[in-house]
Structure 1
Amino acid sequence: MFDAKGQRMNREQWQPFLKLWSEEWINGHDPERDGPLDDEAVRDGWLGFAPASADEVAAAEARLGRTLPPSLRAFLLTTNGWRDAGNFIYRLAGASELAWLADTDDSSWIDAYSDTEFADEDEDEEPEGEILARSLRLSLDGDAAVMLLDPKDIDERGEWAGYWLASWSGMGPERFDSFYDLMYHQYTRFHRLRQPEGKSGA
């Protein structure tokens, strides 16, 4: 149904995928283990929000000085932000909330992965701190975890490389080919950890 590289992830493809994710997340919720679910999300069976308008996306691009990658643009036009993007990310930004990591309260991630024991020692690899310093922050709240996009690492489809990073993982930033690939990873990780009943077979 979905292209593994996100090539067909327009609004028509995001909607059923995110609806399935929402249903499985809500149905698999354990009130004794998990944080409370948003009443609106339960009522609507939807972890997202109303779609961003084309003008809102254009305003975000003007503010950031970059055209957003296709899979992120289509996502925002489907839902302007997202709750519970996996077990460790509690909120994804809407169009007006997107910001460069260096300009946010989460900029300490950059220092933590520059010139420390976390820094990449492979001379053939770009230093992790440099990647983080230029990255777009996607996540607004998480369990010592963050989701990012790298505007310098762009493929032939205009997709930016995505990164998942958690201070407790014992690993550096984990790279994905696109925003869609990063989101699908979060979805499959949720399945591995929760094993909800659903249609995906993930």
Structure 2
Amino acid sequence: MFDTKGQRVNREQWQPFLKLWSEEWIAGHAPERDAPLDDEVIQNSWLGFAPASAEDVAAAEARLGRTLPPSLREFLLTTNGWRDAGIFIYRLAGASELAWLADTDDSSWIDAYSDTEFADEDEEPEGEILARSLRLSLDGDAAVMLLDPKDVDERGEWAGYWLASWSGMGPERFGSFHDLMHEQYTGFHRLRPPEGKSCSSS
């Protein structure tokens, strides 16, 4: 996987990574275990979709009232959504599908984590983080991916969160959308090690 420490992730970096991810996922697909692959995925060897346009991204930012973090913007300009973001997330939102968690049918996550034992006394309550977060995932196995617009680094990247109700843990923080996606990729490798070339350990 490419090293983006202190650097922005652009389309030229997303494209080969996502292409490899797609090829490995498709090669490891087991019909008796996994949901059927879309015909378009098989035909194109691509878990993604056509790229969003700059106008699509600008419309999403206007609707949300925030400039999206760089790695998410470049991701959308590479693929406007994504299928199978790891074992437990079945679909990531495209530009028009991005929404604040509090405004979606998944807002019950906020109440569920508003009074939990996971946060230390000196940490911000999970429910407050979730209440302001952007929902990235549209469908998953009792799991969700989020971005926190209040937790922003010097590159403009928002902290990312992975949360699963069955994990026995609270939200797991990552430094950016890119870092969150890389963890989903390496998690897929841990559970279903693909044969041949991989970028999970670089």
SS in 2 for 1:2: coil
Q: Which residue of 1 aligns with 2:61?
A: 61
Structure 2 length-normalised TM = 0.96
Question: For the aligned residues, what is the CA RMSD?
Answer: 1.2
Q: Which residue of 1 aligns with 2:100?
A: 100
Q: Which residue of 1 aligns with 2:14?
A: 14
Q: Note the alpha carbon deviations across 1:58-104, whole angstroms, 9 max, x for none.
A: 00000000000000000000000000000000000000000000000
The amino acid of 2:160's aligned partner reads G
Alpha-carbon contact 1:2-1:9 (below 8 Å) kept: no
SS in 1 for 2:90: strand
Q: Distance in 2 between matches of 1:162 and 1:5?
A: 15
SS in 2 for 1:153: strand
Kindly indicate whether residue 177 of structure 2 is the aligned counterpart of residue 179 of structure 1: yes
Q: Distance in 1 between matches of 2:98 and 2:143?
A: 16
Q: Note the alpha carbon deviations across 1:32-66, whole angstroms, 9 max, x for none.
A: 11111111001100000000000000000000000
The amino acid of 2:101's aligned partner reads L
Count of aligned positions: 200
Q: Distance in 2 between matches of 1:169 and 1:111?
A: 17
Q: Which residue of 2 aligns with 1:43?
A: 43
Q: Percent identity?
A: 87
SS in 1 for 2:145: strand
Structure 2: which 5+ residue stretches go unaligned?
none
Give the 5 Å matches for 1:19-30.
Answer: 19-30=19-30
Q: Distance in 2 between matches of 1:169 and 1:184?
A: 19
SS in 2 for 1:164: strand
Aligned mate of 1:149, from 147, 158, 168: 147
Structure 1 length-normalised TM = 0.96
Alpha-carbon contact 2:100-2:132 (below 8 Å) kept: yes
Q: Distance in 2 between matches of 1:54 and 1:191?
A: 32
Q: Which residue of 2 aligns with 1:195?
A: 193
Alpha-carbon contact 1:6-1:181 (below 8 Å) kept: no
**Shift of residue 137 of structure 1?**
0.1
Moved more, 80-89 or 27-36: 27-36
Q: Distance in 1 between matches of 2:171 and 2:7?
A: 24
The amino acid of 2:19's aligned partner reads K
Q: Distance in 1 between matches of 2:7 and 2:148?
A: 18
**Shift of residue 107 of structure 1?**
0.1
In structure 2, the CA distance between the partners of 1:103 and 1:34, relative to structure 1 (3 Å rule), is: same
The amino acid of 1:81's aligned partner reads G
The amino acid of 1:24's aligned partner reads E
**Shift of residue 4 of structure 1?**
4.2
Kindly indicate whether residue 127 of structure 2 is the aligned counterpart of residue 114 of structure 1: no
The amino acid of 1:123's aligned partner reads E
Alpha-carbon contact 2:61-2:68 (below 8 Å) kept: yes
Q: Distance in 2 between matches of 1:135 and 1:54?
A: 23
Q: Which residue of 2 aligns with 1:135?
A: 133
SS in 2 for 1:171: coil
